Amino acid sequence: MNNGPVHGSWEPLPATRWEDAFLSGNGRHGAMVFGDPNTDRIIVNHHTLVRPNGSEHARPPELADRLADVQDRLLAGETTAAEGFTDGRELQWVQPFHPAFEIRLRRPAEERRHYRRSVDFTTGVVTALCADWSSRVFVSRADDVIVQYVTSPGRMLDLSLDHRLPGAPRDLAVGQGAALTTEGALLTLRARYPDHDSGYTGVTLVVATGGRTALCPQGVRVTDAESVLLLTRVRRHTSEPDPLAEARALRTLLTTDGEEPYARLLDRHLTLHRPAYLRATLTLDADDTERALPGSELLRRTKSPALLERLFAAGRYHLLGSSGMLPPRLTGLWTGDWNTAWSGAFTTNANLNLQTASAVAAALPEVTAAQATLMDRQLDDWRENARAVFGARGVVAPTHTDGESGYTYHFNREYPHQLWTAGADWLLKPLVDHDETHGEHDPRTAAALADVALFYEDFLTRTDRDGRLVVVPSYSPENRPANASWGAINAAMDLSAARHALLTAAAYHPERADRWRALADRLPPHRVNADGALAEWAWPGLDDTYDHRHLSHLYGVWPLDEINPYDTPDLAKAAHRALELRGAENDSAHGHLHHALIAARLRDAGGVTHALGQVLEGDYFHASLMSAHYPNRDVYNADAAHALPAVVIEALVQSTPGRLVLLPALPAAYPKGRLMGIRTRFGAEVDLTWSPQEARAVVRPARDCRIELRTSAGARPLDLVAGEDCVLTLGAQEIVQLPPPMEGTPWQHAP
């Protein structure tokens, strides 16, 4: 495997598009670094920057008094009855996420040579180098500040803040200032949203070593300095801020007891960032020549193991950088355009869930902590959703949130999100996985699970002719039956989510376990349709619509363990048939990678290979290694970038509290490699090395347990003792699983 993977990326040419900007972030502030040899450009982002659009006052629809009627009508066979279960409002988007401003550093126009820009994933530092100057940017996890350090800046450097980014409102009220203070030169930008009393303020402190600093029409001019250090913060607010107070706070960060300020700031940041990033790594049998290529060139070599290595590394880096006070948005933590697609929301019916899918296994508790924070601060809103729409206790999560409101108000006829009840369970799933991994129950997770179970106690009151509970109305995001409207009965996802939520809540709350388990036992089984596929709606008479980007009906396969090849082989076979029949609709990246995750759980290496290949070969990645929603780099979106590491891990290592599965769906294109630092839900860390001849896994348990070890050769028990490494050696027959050939499915092939 030669020298090992490259933990970073680089480009020899300037970036003229903000989509190609290299990224740094600390889960609060984000920096997008691009430009050319004569102009450095940094777009500043912050998780709290959402533009008021009226939705900040929106509340869930008051529909509870009409619930019984719509249930009666749906159960009586009126397939469009749920279309009237609304208060008639127009579709309303959540407050859109937007950039703050651009920090711009201009040099006199000259011919400059040997330009190169790069990002180091191990440090979070984005570097631009030229023959006569260098610039380094990172976003500190320790001090919550964007740091830029320019050495040998040249004879003249003009610094300014500019809010004029694509899509910026013309009536955005902006005030800018520049001043020379005892703290250093100070650049400020204050913005107030149109027709609103809130806004945001950015402050950049400029400290030059040597030379002269003076005001200029654009902001500040530094002449003949040895170096320039910039510290930037942005804050959203409803009252007038004090920029001088912020400047003084920034200046305190430069008190270093003689140590060089930039080095001290970086050291403090690295103590938090570097260990987190390096907890899990992937090494494949890649060529060092390809590993050394610029990212844009490597992206053209779609079958190169070096590409998958780098995208795995970049995915973990970007996921870590976008997670802190909140988990990643649709664009992570970054955007250069005020017109961010789908409002840059947290979309919880696939996108956020896929982005955070690797958090537990890939050892990023920072991500699950951010998701827990988002949920915890919105639980009161979720309770109001349950009361207003369903007349129930407990909680119902919204499909879209801007990070502030947790109310359900984004819905219309074609997207009846007010009907969806499975969201809280999916959002809680990684938190439950985290608890299993660490062997203890987080009180916040326990309380939220109890709230979800209470909702189902109140909501699940209708039964079918066999006495089974019925989920009605029921919605399978974002699909509809071929012969009915969107709001239907017994969507497979709703059944799986209700069952999982009740049983998990019972495990956390033994005092109420009997009641919740009994309720779960009354839910109906899944249905297999005439095509031999797991039906998207378990209610008889509802026909499937196969060509769709979402795979909501296979929620029981992934992320749940309800349906798997070991305990429920018949259902797993039906789920696999459903996966075969599923189309890609509009080639959304999240659809392909969702497909790959489910295929991996079903031990289908061919399905993983095909779905992953669709993304690697579809031109979904910018030179920044951040991804797009559609092929040909259309619509900046973090789904593919953040979800790809989860696909790799699921193909190589899977775990439940009582099971370890090794190499369940190894793609043939990667016959040799090493995956290190994977966390399991039975409390152990796993390092896996494999080749065509042999595989070796080192399991390091943190607690005693007995588990089942699964390979392609079968199952055997495994006793683990806390603190004692368990070394497993697999022969060739346990490594490669040949998927059964499936007629009419072009991607089903032997690896």
Q: How confident is the model at residue 246 (pLDDT cuts 50, 70, 90)?
A: confident
Place of tokens 């074609």: 414
Residues 499, 444 contacting (CB under 8 angstroms): no
pLDDT tens figures, 605-658? 999 999 999 999 999 999 999 999 999 999 999 999 999 999 999 999 999 999
**Residue 78 confidence (pLDDT):** 97
**DSSP per-residue letters across 676-723:** EEEE-TTSEEEEEEE-SSEEEEEEEESS-EEEEEEETTEEEEEEE-TT
pLDDT number for residue 86: 97
Q: Is the pLDDT of residue 201 over 70?
A: yes
pLDDT at 732: 80
**Reduced to 3 states, what is the DSSP secondary structure of residue 655?**
strand
Residues, the chain, total?
751
Distance (Å) of CA 164 to CA 102, 206, 216, 305, 554: 8, 21, 19, 41, 44
Average pLDDT score, the chain: 94
Q: What value does the mean pLDDT take over residues 694-720?
A: 96
Residue 238: the pLDDT is: 75
| pLDDT above 50 (res 326) | yes
Q: Is the peptide bond preceding residue 61 cis, with omega within 30 degrees of 0?
A: no
Other CB atoms within 10 Å distance of the CB of residue 194:
13
pLDDT tens profile 538-573: 999 999 999 999 999 999 999 999 999 999 999 999
Q: What is the mean pLDDT of residues 171-176?
A: 94
What is the model's pLDDT at position 118? Answer: 97
DSSP string of 152-215, one letter each residue: S--SEEEEEEE---TT--TT-EEEEEEEEETTEEEEEEEEE-TTSS-EEEEEEEEEEESSEEEE
Cβ-Cβ contacts under 8 Å for 621 (sequence gap 6 or more):
299, 311, 627, 628, 633, 640, 641
Beta strands (DSSP E) in 534-573 are none
Question: Strand 400-401 vs strand 346-347: parallel, antiparallel, or unpaired?
Answer: antiparallel
Mean predicted confidence (pLDDT) in 515-527: 98
In the predicted structure, residue 257 carries a pLDDT above the cut 80: no
The torsion of the CA quartet 594, 597, 602, 608, rounded to 10 degrees, works out to: 90
226: left (phi over 0), alpha (psi -120 to 50) or beta: alpha
Q: Assess whether pLDDT exceeds 80 at residue 526.
A: yes
Residues ≥6 apart with Cβ < 8 Å to 65: 391
State yes or no: pLDDT of 739 exceeds 90. Answer: no
pLDDT of residue 110: 77
What pLDDT, in 10s, does the model give residues 274-296? 999 999 999 999 999 999 999 99
Q: Which of 91-95, 222-226, 442-446, 744-748 has the lowest mean pLDDT?
A: 744-748
Q: Each residue of 45-101: pLDDT tens digit?
A: 999 999 999 999 999 999 999 999 999 999 999 999 999 999 999 999 999 999 999
For residue 124, the model assigns a pLDDT of: 98
- Mean of pLDDT values over 245-257: 85
User: What are the CA-CA distances from residue 507 to residues 239, 426, 442, 453, 522 (Å)?
Assistant: 46, 17, 13, 12, 18
If you average pLDDT over residues 457-473, what whole number do you get? Answer: 97
pLDDT at 738 over 60: no
pLDDT at 746: 32
- Torsion sign over Cα 645, 649, 651, 655: negative
> For position 267, what pLDDT does the model report?
96
Distance, CA of 151 to chain centre: 35
Q: How far apart are CA 282 and CA 676, in angstroms?
A: 7
Residue 20 contacts by C-beta under 8 Å, 6 or more apart in sequence? 11, 34, 622, 623, 624
**Percentage above 70 pLDDT, the chain:** 97
* C-alpha closest to that of 577 among 616, 650, 527, 649: 527
Ramachandran bin of 156, using left for φ above 0, alpha for ψ from -120 to 50, beta for the remaining angles: beta
Q: What is the mean pLDDT of residues 252-271?
A: 90
> Rounded to 5 degrees, what are φ and ψ at 128?
-120, 130
* CA neighbours closer than 13 Å in the CB half-sphere of residue 560: 29
What was the pLDDT predicted at 741?
Answer: 32
The strand pair at 116-120 and 8-11 is best described as antiparallel
397 has pLDDT over 80: yes
The pLDDT of residue 255 is 78
Tokens at 349, concatenated:
């019916």
Question: In the structure, what pLDDT confidence band is assigned to residue 241 with cuts at 50, 70 and 90?
Answer: confident
**What residues are paired with 19 via a beta bridge?**
none
Handedness of CA 666, 667, 673, 679 (dihedral sign): negative
Distances from the Cα of 702 to the Cα of 587, 683, 692, 699, angstroms: 42, 6, 30, 10
Q: d(Cα 333, Cα 29) in Å, to the nearest integer?
A: 8
Tokens of 716: 């055997």
Residues 376-404 have a mean pLDDT of 98
pLDDT-derived band at 742, boundaries 50, 70, 90:
very low
Both tokens assigned to 526: 């899944």
- Can the peptide bond before residue 99 be classed as cis, meaning omega within 30 degrees of 0? no
136-150, 177-191, 292-306, 463-477: lowest mean pLDDT where?
177-191
**pLDDT at position 745 over 60:** no
Instruction: Specify the pTM.
Output: 0.96
Q: What is the b/e burial string over 336-350, where b = at least 16 CB atoms within 10 angstroms of the residue's CB?
A: bbbebbbbbbbbbbb
Please, what are the domains in the chain? Answer: 8-50+100-277 (2.70.98.50), 55-92+322-583 (1.50.10.10), 593-603+643-751 (2.60.40)
77-91, 491-505, 677-691, 735-749: which range is least confident on average?
735-749
Check whether 730 has a pLDDT greater than 60: yes
Q: Residue 743's pLDDT band (boundaries 50, 70, 90)?
A: very low
pLDDT tens digits, residue range 123-171? Answer: 999 999 988 889 999 999 999 999 999 998 888 999 999 999 999 999 9
pLDDT of res. 112: 67
Q: List the one residue out of 666, 62, 675, 147 whose CA is nearest residue 389.
A: 62
Output the pLDDT for position 10: 97
pLDDT of res. 284 = 98
- For 586-604, the pLDDT digits (tens) are 999 999 999 999 999 999 9
pLDDT at 736 over 70: no
Average pLDDT over residues 232-239: 89
By three-state DSSP, how is residue 423 classified? helix
